[in-house]
């Protein structure tokens, strides 16, 4: 299997470029969390806490295991899609941890990245055996209908940039890099989960172009909005939500920089936000003493006492 490229999820297809673009737009909804998931996050703090802690744990794996951010972004996509489609039992902190380990493992395999789940688990103070992780991987694969070549906002960046009249390669790269950073930053923003990946990509590019090339922004906007695939009303709503997100994160970054001590390790704005959010996990996880959390080995994920009742999927035969 070739290394999966999030910017070109359908590179394995032997089709014309126009066919690939059409395939991206026609299939993007299949790679989104369900709408009910978005509604639950808006109305239920337990779902919010679960998601924030999961993202925080994924980001810790990124830094402690030296995983690239594309892999952790893909893992987050798997996590959101899985949780939106399957019932997750509450009050069992190990479920969240096992889910995170399995999504990172799957994303690492797709990206051909090395991920030592045992080393990461030891650092975090819990342990699951290999069969348990594999069974959770199978649950995720089944719930996602084996659609692991995720269509994300990153998949549309190059297409929409091609609509811009920007010939200088360094300037095009600067625009792409800034838009990509905004997309990674948007990963933690619940408000943006309701929008299609293409709309998020458009909004990130317009946000980046407004920052980098304000004089050319009107022509960029006209080019984007003339695309038949772009819903203007949804694009405006997404752009406004993204603008608010960037403004809030910038403000938080300034406060964090001023209030943090000189010994604090520098982190990105999104990482700081996720770390602060993780303090609310107590709403979904049963508090445990530090000594008790050092090693929790799960040998019987499929045993009757520990079985995850996720819809009607049976982890074991």
Of the candidates 183, 190, 182, the one whose C-alpha atom is nearest the C-alpha of residue 51 is 190
Tell me the range of 236-240, 260-264, 265-269 where mean pLDDT is highest. 236-240
Express each pLDDT in 128-139 by its tens digit: 989 999 999 999
**The tokens 């994160």 sit on which residue?**
249
Express each pLDDT in 280-302 by its tens digit: 333 333 333 333 443 343 333 33
pLDDT above 70 as % of the chain = 76
pLDDT of residue 208: 96
Same fold: 17-144 with 153-257: yes
Are 64 and 120 in contact, with CB atoms under 8 Å apart? yes
Using the Cα atoms of residue 229, residue 177, residue 82 and residue 275 in order, give the sign of their dihedral: negative
Q: Rounded to an integer, what distance in angstroms lies between the CA atom of residue 245 and that of residue 235?
A: 15
Please state whether beta strands 297-298 and 127-128 pair in parallel, antiparallel, or not at all (unpaired): parallel
Q: Rounded to an integer, what distance in angstroms lies between the CA atom of residue 25 and that of residue 151?
A: 9
pTM of the complete model? 0.78
CATH H-level, domain 17-144: superfamily: Cyclin-like (1.10.472.10)
Mapping DSSP to helix (H, G, I), strand (E, B) and coil, where does residue 309 land? coil
Domain range summary for the chain, segments of one domain joined by +: 17-144, 153-257
**The tokens 């910038």 sit on which residue?**
250
pLDDT of residue 143: 94
The distance from CA 175 to its chain's CA centroid, rounded to whole angstroms, is 21
Express each pLDDT in 148-201 by its tens digit: 999 999 999 999 999 987 888 999 999 999 999 999 999 999 999 999 999 999
* Helices 232-259/169-186 angle, 10° precision: 80
Task: Choose which CATH entry (1.10.472.10, 3.80.30.20, 3.40.50.10540, 1.10.274.10) describes domain 153-257.
Answer: 1.10.472.10
- Average pLDDT (137-146) is 95
pLDDT tier for residue 90 given thresholds of 50, 70 and 90: confident
Cβ density class 86-99: b for 16+ within 10 Å, e for less: bebeeeebbbbbbb
């Amino acid at each position: 299997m070739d290394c999966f490229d999030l910017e070109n999820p359908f590179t394995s297809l032997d089709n014309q470029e126009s066919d690939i673009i059409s395939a991206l737009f026609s299939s993007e909804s299949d790679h989104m969390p369900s709408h009910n998931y978005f509604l639950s996050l808006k109305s239920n703090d337990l779902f919010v806490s679960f998601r924030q802690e999961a993202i925080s744990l994924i980001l810790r794996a990124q830094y402690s295991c030296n995983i690239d951010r594309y892999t952790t972004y893909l893992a987050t996509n798997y996590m959101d899609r899985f949780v939106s489609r399957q019932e997750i039992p509450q009050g069992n902190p190990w479920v969240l941890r096992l889910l995170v380990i399995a999504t990172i493992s799957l994303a690492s395999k797709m990206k051909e990245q090395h991920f030592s789940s045992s080393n990461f688990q030891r650092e975090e103070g819990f342990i699951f055996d290999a069969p348990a992780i594999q069974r959770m991987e199978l649950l995720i694969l089944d719930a996602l209908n084996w659609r692991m070549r995720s269509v994300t906002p990153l998949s549309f960046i190059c297409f929409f940039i091609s609509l811009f009249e920007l010939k200088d390669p360094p300037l095009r790269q600067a625009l792409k890099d800034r838009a990509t950073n905004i997309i990674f930053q948007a990963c933690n923003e619940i408000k943006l989960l309701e929008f299609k990946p293409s709309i998020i990509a458009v909004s990130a590019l317009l946000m980046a172009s407004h920052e980098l090339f304000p004089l050319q922004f009107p022509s960029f906007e006209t080019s984007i909005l003339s695309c038949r695939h772009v819903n203007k009303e949804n694009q405006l709503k997404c752009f406004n939500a993204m603008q608010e997100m960037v403004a809030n994160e910038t403000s938080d970054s300034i406060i964090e920089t001023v209030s943090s001590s000189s010994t604090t390790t520098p982190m990105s704005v999104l990482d700081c936000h996720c770390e602060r959010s993780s303090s609310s996990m107590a709403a979904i996880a049963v508090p445990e003493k530090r000594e008790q959390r050092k090693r929790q080995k799960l040998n019987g994920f499929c045993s009757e006492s520990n079985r995850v009742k996720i819809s009607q999927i049976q982890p074991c035969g």
